[in-house]
Amino acid sequence: KAGVTQTPRYLIKTRGQQVTLSCSPISGHRSVSWYQQTPGQGLQFLFEYFSETQRNKGNFPGRFSGRQFSNSRSEMNVSTLELGDSALYLCASSLRVPTEKLFFGSGTQLSVL
Amino acid sequence: AQSVTQPDIHITVSEGASLELRCNYSYGATPYLFWYVQSPGQGLQLLLKYFSGDTLVQGIKGFEAEFKRSQSSFNLRKPSVHWSDAAEYFCAVGTKMEYGNKLVFGAGTILRVKS
């Protein structure tokens, strides 16, 4: 069974641009969560989707948004990029919520210049 | 609010030596606790988890962790470290929300293994 797939693997953008990251969960998983990882702030929860509905949201500005499609694939979007948005963005999927186990993808490394 | 503290940013151990990584948490209710490992440029892999029951939990790759409620700790241990264990280790507390779940992570401990 394929794992969580995140695309692209690396991304370079400039300040003010917007970016869309994609996450394909494990087949059959209906929950997708997003986390931001930076050297300064560590791993921080962005949001979680289940059955196309946002269930939970972390403390991030409105520039960060996401959505989930009927096939459970998810995208997150960051508008008006800032230098501080440079990070590894990790997606995790689970079969159900609440859950005992999150499966993480390898992440998308975003660099904002 | 929930929080997780990993007091050691870096730890270096010799191959074959024992390992203990410390984790302290703050959470009002019964916590769900996890240890994840991350190799450079990779995602997180679950080593083990504690939800309830036996306070000593076994995980993959020979790791174990002990939940001590009185000390609010969930330390990770391994009796004999292998060079391939070099990675960054994250302790996390899970918050069980009505419609979902999220993890609050510690800052991580980087493990170096010397031969």
Nearest CA in chain A to B41: A106
Name the residue with tokens 């918050």. B95
Nearest CA in chain B to A102: B46
Q: The tokens of A75 are what?
A: 């995208």
Chain A partners of B43 at a C-beta cutoff of 8 Å? 4, 90, 104-107
Name the residue with tokens 């999220």. B102
Binned at pLDDT 50, 70 and 90, residue B1 comes out as confident
If one compares B78 and A40, the residue with the highest pLDDT of the two is B78
What per-residue confidence (pLDDT) applies to A97? 66
What tens digit of pLDDT does each residue of B62-114 get?
Answer: 999 999 999 999 999 999 999 999 999 999 998 766 556 788 899 999 999 99
